A and B are shown apart, each in its own frame.
Chain A
């Protein structure tokens, strides 16, 4: 990093130390964070980066009212916070964020609300465990899907339009020999498939498969020495909103998508018309609708019509999820890697359903149930 380019301007510990049975582990993080913000004279709206270990940064963002453009959950043991400082310095120097909060809290003696995990610490006393789990959700098909009826009512979107997302992605999958499902389907097929969680039928839900993927990155000036056509990173974005879908600010739009997408576009310095190829993580059929709107390709409520008019289909002006997506290609649980792999194939010019002359591709991902988001804009032009 660049020496003396970044400084620590706030530092504080929890109000008490020793034995604190009246605060959960999560609240020890929050207590330390509040004291540190006060020490620096800052409020939640002044923080745009968050790093923590042993707790979900998404949980802290929701609790503390922070909208980050940079998040680090690196957790490698007791030295994690030294790594956070280093990563934060790099992020600040790179302009990914300006003001980073790094938190620690640990109920090491009283052991109140320990547990951890993506949806926040605390096991049976985590916030999702207390305020969502008792109502009978059975994983993503019953959580990720909850906002969609509000979206459909707000914009007058029909179940047929939702089903069309699956139909058009199957058309892409038909061109891909590695896709799990390749046979053509109709809107009636989708609506007639088994009801999972109304209004979501089986063919509106992603596959469950096995698989993996990996990437190697290096400096652009070295990239030409490698066997394949380099794919350059033009812009990136990230954010988190809440580990609880019930606490999403707006059920018709993802704040994490909007923040992540805008940051990536600003960094890349491109406009929507420059984009040749798009991947939007589609764990369920409504995600491409939210993604197209929150990334700014469509106005609110217009994505279903945009897809229905075949703009994202083969031969359309914005080819979307060209591998068949999580709905038809594969979905191992953390599908983001496969969206990235398809963007790289498109930029290398070797995709099974290659978009002719594609020069700029976006891979936009989601984490949890609208909890987190990451956006990567790539190009094959140096």
Chain B
């Protein structure tokens, strides 16, 4: 997915800094509740299931499946249409928005439930963005 312009880069907040630090170091970090073991996303310093503040950060597997997507056909700075905006199901449970790389951006190539694995793309000096590619067998 060639990009001619810089795309929108997120600004980390105190409660998400660990996530972006992880991406910079090439790992996808999730949070899990120490009380009820619920894994959740996006980051926050408490469990949305049981309200416990005792939560741990851990390295996720980086494995996911393609849950749903659209293929955008209109111009967008930093993107070359058509490109897919996707949601993936992480092996650990949560879902997240992402792009699918190393793959044709067509309905034929983008099959729901296909196995994926995380990659990291630099979008600014500070930010590596997690994206997903078809899993290598």
Contact = CB atoms under 8 A, between A and B. Distances in A.
A131 interface: yes
Interface in B66-86: 67-74, 76, 78-79, 82-83, 85-86
A107 to B, nearest CB: 10
B16 A149 contact: no
A124 interface: yes
Nearest to A147: B68
Contacts of B71: 195, 197-198
Interface residues of A, number: 54
A37 interface: yes
Contact of A196 (B10, B13, B74): B74
A32 to B, nearest CB: 12
B59 interface: no
A63 B48 contact: yes
Interface SS of chain B: helix, strand, loop or mixed? Answer: loop
Contact of A195 (B44, B73, B76, B98): B73
B14 A146 contact: no
Contact of B45 (A27, A141, A197): A27
A246 B12 contact: no
Interface in A171-228: 194-200
Of B10, B78, B95, chain A has the most CB atoms within 10 Å of the CB of B10
B10 A129 contact: yes
A246 B72 contact: no
B15 interface: yes
Contacts of A27: 13-15, 44-45
A135 B45 contact: no
A130 B12 contact: yes
A136 B87 CA distance: 12
A133 interface: yes
A63 B15 CA distance: 12
A315 interface: no
B96 interface: yes
B87 A246 contact: yes
B113 to A, nearest CB: 8
B67 A150 contact: yes
Interface string A123-149: 111010111111111100111011111
Contact of B85 (A24, A146, A195, A247): A146
Contacts of A153: 112
Contacts of B82: 195, 198
A280 to B, nearest CB: 21
Interface string B88-128: 00000001111100000001000010000000000100010
Nearest to B97: A246
28 contacts: A24-B13, A27-B15, A27-B45, A34-B46, A44-B51, A63-B44, A64-B48, A65-B49, A65-B51, A112-B14, A123-B11, A125-B16, A131-B10, A133-B8, A134-B8, A135-B86, A137-B97, A146-B87, A146-B97, A149-B68, A150-B67, A153-B112, A196-B73, A197-B70, A197-B73, A198-B107, A247-B41, A251-B87
A30 B127 CA distance: 26
Nearest to B95: A246
Given A44-B51, A196-B74, A129 B85 contact: no
A199 B107 CA distance: 9
